[in-house]
Chains A and B, each alone.
Chain A
Amino acid sequence: MSAIRKAFLLAAILAPLEAAAQSLVTALSTDRVPILSNFTGERIAVFGVIQTDAGARPKDGWDVVVSVRGPRGAVTVRRKDSVGPMWLNLDARNYIAIPSFISILSNRPLELIAQAEVREDLRIGIDPLIPPQTAVRSAANDPQFRAGLQRLRSQQGLFFQRPDHVRFISPGVFQAQIDLPGIAPLGNYDVEVAVFSGGALVAKNQLGFTVIKTAAEQWVAEAAHKNSLLYGIATAMLAVLVGWLASLIFRRD
């Protein structure tokens, strides 16, 4: 709750400075999400204040879309086909710069906020955030693979839309909740807050946070990747130690 108060305070300080056009002040409840050994997900709050001249408030109010995008990476999508009685991965398409996490939060369904072309242009929504496949070999562009990618990530809870997760606390002041799942990938996340009025973009802000491993998890993961040989030897020695201890504990004679 203190974060809400902070956002209000921020708004109060900034209000007199921004006199004329519509401007946007936003804040995140945290910019670092540490993964501890009991990490099962995290909720991050986004606060925003839309400032405008006293009389310039649009009569049907504002719409807010918060787009959260996880670290991007290259992805291979494979399709199973039948070979005799078996089902094997045969066909594949490669994609680059695919966000590992996409969450689109808004105060009402996106279709009601802006036209499809506008959303496509501004990259608002899950589909516009997924680049088309890269040209590999002579593989023809097959929309099924892209749809498969989107479907699988959605099932894993990594891609989702929440048209009711942005709440206006009062006119011009809003709050949103980013629900990070336990399997949220590590890395830098971009948060884009876009304010619409009458179907057009009126203000936009960029924020970000980082999901990091801490303490033991970080140490283990780092050791495994940076000193992999040593890590392997240490793990093997530990296994021998556990086995030896067990034989001491359970020795029957």
Chain B
Amino acid sequence: MVMKKFLNDPQRATNELLEGYALCFPDKVKLVSEKIVVRATPKAKDKVAVITLGGSGHEPALSGFVGEGMLDASVVGDIFAAPGAPKVLEALRMFKDNAGIVFLVLNHEGDQRNANMAMTMAEKEGIKVAKIVTAEDIAPGVDAPISERRGLGGCIPLLKIIGAAAEKGFSADEIVEIGERFNKRMATLAVTLKVATHPQSGGEIGELADDQMEIGMGQHGEGGGNGPEPMQSADWIAETMMNKVLRAIEAKSGEKILLLINGSGGTTLMEQFIIFRKAHEVATAAGVEVVESYCGEVLTVQEASGFQMIVGVYDDQTFELFNAPCDTPYWVTR
């Protein structure tokens, strides 16, 4: 089968997308050393830098959130693959004179391994790095060991909060503490209707029959939860997933939450709003107040159809930080 994507040499897709991205937002970001996206105007050195790493192919994540109030740098790997540790070390070195470095790492094997290696090497050079890990996927069950739980799109609202904390001048330890507090009450559940095509190999990422969906499928086609099941109505899917998510975060009546529907790339905003409508209704019926909400694409998987339902419970501080100003190519708060 011929792959129908706008590509030149597929092996250079990551380089070309990053070059295009930097040209598109020249006042906000720039590309250095081929695979490191940094702010066009660096943050003051007396503040903590927030950096992350991850494979490409998930745009706008993660480099789309480099900018004032969120990330200082994003180290990019190849399509769906972590960057090598030496490249990550190069990025850590760029911020060695800042008040500290907070390193957000999604829980995927390659991301964790390369992050840990880079941190070990940085420590030898006297660069101190505080790591915060997102592993908020509830598909394997809330009691599953952390090795089973993946970091999904919930890293974006978390980044918004810790990025704002860094901008306000909090220390690395304080930022990690604030982030972990939000982390504990945040969960994501994904559903896939149609898998994506890998832009380099042309192969399908995962397997799903035309009349099936899979709740819990990860962002690289990994299975999760109960496996494929017959397709259902939007309301059934939204209600089933929202109930699971609310149970996982132990949302109590009167609590304030974020409800974010993240399209996977091949699902229309029309469908996302239809899902959001029911999810909001379920939350309200449970006595939980949706105080922040969004429908759109923050972390995609090429043209996969599906979405990630991301819910987090706020406390006063995380709510305030979430609403602090930020100015990045794909997230702006005024």
Real binding pair: no
